[in-house]
Amino acid sequence: MNETVKLADLRQGVRPVDHPPVRAGRIGVLLLNLGTPEGTTYWPMRRYLKEFLSDRRVIETPRLLWWPILNLIILTTRPSRKGRDYATIWNKALDEGPLKTITRAQAQDLARHLKGIAGDRISVDWAMRYGKPEIRERIQALLDEGCDRILLVPLYPQYSAATSATACDHAFRALMEMRWQPTVRVSPPYHDDPVYIDAVVSSMKRELEKLPFEPEVILVSFHGVPKEYLLKGDPYHCHCVKTWRLMREAFGWPADRFRMSFQSRFGTAEWLQPYTDKTVQALAESGVKRLAIVAPGFSADCLETLEELDGENREIFMHHGGEQFAYLPCLNDSEEGMRVIRHIAERELQGWI
């Protein structure tokens, strides 16, 4: 250090004349979501699926067993099929998946909101665990803007090792390679937060008012995970059940009209039950003619909601005797959805702003 620097200057943060330029003193907020392929053709889909299905948090099968299944079977057949599914929901104007479009809009809205609270001290960005923009890249971008404190916000209301944990793993791996690490906070799951429950129920009621029919049953569908994960201690199932219970209580419907289920199972192992597709079929075959499905575990609409629920499960219901079907959209960047994200960010930034 230059010996001519005065103690008073050090206390005021004045750097020596030969000190390299450093940007610091700002706060970053990074929204984290699952991810989306960069295109719907074979190779973009293959890259996305390989990254996703190679994650040990997602697939816990021993590598010696999983590697040949993944590389010799799944990655040769699944990319084309899933690419066709993605093509049905693709945002053609921006050439991207809807999850990317919506997450960007959420970050932009949050940035405007926080600017009104803290001025220009806060930078808001977004990243995907799989695909782009990469978590490592966006953390570095926040550091380059002078953010020496960063709040990570996994946009998963219910915690699971296969979602929240793997997103944080990726962020922590990036931090491990940094000489000057920022101070980091991670927002907790918000499955039972009153603001979240109220937002989901308010959004549902608003969407139901638009329908030309009243559902006999509302099915609350969560993304599934293998049952083995629950038995190993993952709290995801418990979080989902509590969300469903609080929603039902706030909605005021009996349990037989306000059901819950788990979708998107993969492979031959047992997953959390009841399964969404089997439940939809059973409801139709039992005589239910009017059904609505909502997916509160997704912060933004994506393949699993737009194609699987509003497409595949609509077809299942109608094919087995149903007559009227509605998919109620996710919170997305609606006013209800942004109320939740703003609430989480403001709460977790306490002491920093």
Query: Within 13 Å, how many C-alpha atoms sit on residue 228's CB side?
Result: 11
At residue 104, φ and ψ (nearest 5 deg) are -60, -45
**Do the annotations mark residue 223 as ligand-binding?**
yes
Asked if 130 contacts 52 with a C-beta cutoff of 8 angstroms, the reply is yes
Give the 3-state secondary structure of residue 185.
Answer: strand
Per the document, the length of the chain is 353
Residues 349 and 185: their CA atoms lie apart, in Å, by 9
Biggest CA-to-CA distance, the chain: 86
Angle at 237 between CA 236 and CA 239, to 5 degrees: 65
Asked if 160 contacts 264 with a C-beta cutoff of 8 angstroms, the reply is no
The pair of three-digit structure tokens given for residue 243, joined into one six-digit string: 């969300």
Q: Residue 327 pairs with which residues in a beta bridge?
A: 293
- Cis bond before residue 133 (omega within 30° of 0): yes
Of 326, 324, 129, 321, nearest to 221 (Cα)? 326
Residues 345 and 327: their CA atoms lie apart, in Å, by 29
Residues 293 and 115: their CA atoms lie apart, in Å, by 36
Element (H, E) at 233: none
Strands 122-131 and 147-154, sheet pairing: unpaired
**Do the annotations mark residue 304 as ligand-binding?**
yes
Query: In 10 A of CB 275, how many CB atoms?
Result: 19
Annotated binding site: 223, 304
Annotated binding site for Fe(2+): 223, 304
